[in-house]
Amino acid sequence: MKAFVALEDGTVFEGKGFGLEGEKEGEIVFNTSMTGYQEIMTDPSYKGQIVTMTYPLIGNYGINDNDVESDSPKVEGFIVREFSRITSNWRATGDLEDYFRRHNIIAVEEIDTRALTRHLRVRGVMRGIISTADHDRDSLVRKAKGSRGIVGIDLIQEVTCRAPYEFDGEKGDDTGSAALHCVVMDFGVKRNILRILRRKGCRVTVVPSSAKAEEIMAMKPDGVLLSNGPGDPEAVPYAIAEIRKLFGRVPIFGICLGQQLLGLALGGKTYKLKFGHRGANQPIKEILTGKVYITSENHGFAVDVESIKDQAVHVTHVNLNDGTAEGMEHETYPLFSVQYHPEASPGPHDSYGLFEKFRKMMETYKKEGNA
């Protein structure tokens, strides 16, 4: 079936639809990962976005029940160059097209994804429409111009949990006694973050993004993790205010959106990147050691370092592609953060050690009688 991708600047690409028929709006972005399409689709940080995969062949290893980062796909739509109808992998339990139909995801293939990606790199990511229902280009462009964007929108409420829960883990997650209690503020948390916390010997309690600081402290946590998530960090002032109340009371580790919220809680500002960082091959330099890590990233906003230069916080990591801040640490409070994804999924495991750093921070703080 014929399908179209229309951007708000009037650019239109024609392809073929697979998965669900219909129409969907969202911010059109691109991801440079060569594998991991199922983890990408189920990453809650992609809520509100239509993802273009730069790798040309998608679907060849099918889907399974283990490579998911949430309970269902969170992307608004999916764009690929070629969709493989041949599934070949011993772990596969189904194919991608059936998966899309089952979860009501519209996808488009036979798009010139190189041209689309180059366009977004030059012009910046923008609002758009994918449709198998409307074939009128002018109509599609009008819809794209009027579609919902990301800036100023609280998308976290569409992906956060509705009530606190204990993450019991999965087979192989818990390698010892749960000597530490970590509370995770769920802004759209990826499941592998929870898995790794369990493997590090933590009892994990997940709370909604609207949780109050006093509710969290009443749980007697040894540490609080601020998760990844979608959308504009400045659109969630309620979370920023509660995070600020936790400073100095408990160790804090922020990941991706968690770093941006920390920056805002410190009195800083964030800004939108032209086309964001999305992929599993971002080079990140650790300033103290000079070591370069290859990391997985998925974010469209960043902390304005100049806005927090009067705070007792220093930048620990920078992105070698554009110099943006990829890590921060407070010089007084036990808190640190990274803009990238140390849990990867998909991506390299170079930065798993950050979870060990968080564990040791929690142990030290608890040993000193602070928790």
The catalytic site residues sit at 256, 341, 343
Amino acid found at 360: K
| Cβ-proximal residues to 18 (8 Å cutoff; 6+ apart), any chain | 83, 97, 100, 107, 108, 109
- In terms of Cβ atoms closer than 10 Å to its own Cβ (0-12, 13-18, 19+), residue 228 is buried
How far is it, in rounded angstroms, from Cα 252 to Cα 259? 10
Helix (H) or strand (E) holding 21: none
86 in the Ramachandran plot: left (φ > 0), alpha (ψ -120 to 50) or beta?
Answer: beta
Residue pointed to by tokens 């040791």: 360
Q: Return phi, psi of residue 176, to 5°.
A: -175, -170
For residue 15, report the phi and psi dihedrals to the nearest 5 degrees: -155, -155
Q: How far apart are CA 267 and CA 249, in angstroms?
A: 18
Q: Which of 335, 351, 356 is nearest to 175 (CA)?
A: 356
Helix, coil or strand: residue 195:
helix
Residue 163 CB burial class (10 angstroms; 0-12, 13-18, ≥19) = exposed
Contact between 223 and 357 under an 8 Å Cβ cutoff? The reply is no
